[in-house]
């Protein structure tokens, strides 16, 4: 029992490290070769995790081999457009200038109902609003609306937008984010002064943030009864 527990922890750490080295893509954004490698890694880790008769290295070595394979394919994918087309494929235009391409739908094995579902996922509820629909190599559908159906931007309305910047987390669950505090050019004295306005201290703060407009937000932890 203890050996199984330890093997599971070791394999989990190995898989976690490998997946982190593979990058931060979401599952829906994985290319076919990335998804295949991810599935194989999960399968390779599960066998030596439960089968005590199989050396744990029989799982770790193939996983590392897949990581090397992934690195090589990713490098070739970046350097050569022809290899990229073979490995990842090319985007397909499902709707061109407002007209559905039936041949492309058949080729990609997508029904009209599935196409409508993809449109709804993009907050588009009418086919007549779509100028282009592009099936990306990751399987996601990018929608370009007809010009008259697009929401106007502030630039379209000739409105000058204020610069917002990015928000910074300064305290998370009682822990001060020192790097973020340094990034905005502030110190602990300033932070404690800001928290004091909310009757809080770093150790009893659930979250404290500041945005690009210098708007400070703070929420205290629930007091333990």
Within-domain flag for 160:
no
pTM of this prediction? 0.63
SS (H, E, C) 64-80: HHHHHHHHHHHHHHHHC
Number of domains in the chain: 3
The answer to whether 30 and 138 are in contact (CB under 8 A) is yes
The stretches in the chain having pLDDT less than 70 are 1, 23-30, 161, 163-164, 225
**What is the model's pLDDT at position 28?**
55
What tokens were used for 19? 């997946």
> Is the domain of 82 the same as that of 108?
no
**What is the model's pLDDT at position 79?**
82
> Is the domain of 173 the same as that of 212?
yes
> Is the domain of 81 the same as that of 101?
no
Within-domain flag for 114:
yes
Among 86, 105, 133, the domain boundary falls at 86
> Is the domain of 132 the same as that of 200?
no
**What is the model's pLDDT at position 158?**
81
> Is the domain of 127 the same as that of 183?
no
C-alpha–C-alpha distance, residues 4 and 136, integer Å: 42
Domain coverage including residue 50: 2-86
């Amino acid at each position: 029992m203890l050996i199984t527990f330890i093997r599971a922890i070791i394999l989990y750490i190995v898989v976690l490290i490998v997946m982190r080295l593979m990058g931060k893509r979401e599952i829906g954004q994985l290319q076919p070769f990335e998804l295949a490698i991810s599935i194989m890694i999960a399968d390779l880790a599960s066998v030596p995790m439960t089968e005590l008769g199989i050396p744990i290295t029989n799982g770790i070595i193939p996983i590392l081999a897949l990581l090397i394979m992934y690195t090589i394919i990713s490098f070739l994918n970046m350097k050569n457009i022809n290899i990229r087309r073979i490995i990842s494929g090319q985007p397909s235009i499902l709707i061109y200038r407002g007209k559905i391409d039936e041949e492309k739908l058949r080729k990609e094995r997508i029904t009209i109902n599935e196409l409508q579902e993809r449109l709804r996922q993009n907050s588009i509820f009418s086919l007549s609003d779509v100028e282009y629909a592009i099936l990306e190599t990751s399987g996601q559908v990018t929608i370009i609306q007809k010009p008259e159906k697009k929401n106007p931007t502030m630039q379209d309305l000739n409105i000058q937008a204020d610069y917002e910047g990015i928000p910074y987390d300064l305290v998370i669950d009682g822990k001060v984010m020192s790097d973020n505090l340094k990034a905005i050019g502030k110190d602990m004295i300033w932070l404690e002064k800001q928290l004091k306005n909310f009757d809080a201290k770093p150790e009893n703060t659930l979250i404290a943030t500041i945005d690009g407009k210098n708007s400070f937000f703070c929420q205290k932890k629930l007091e333990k009864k």
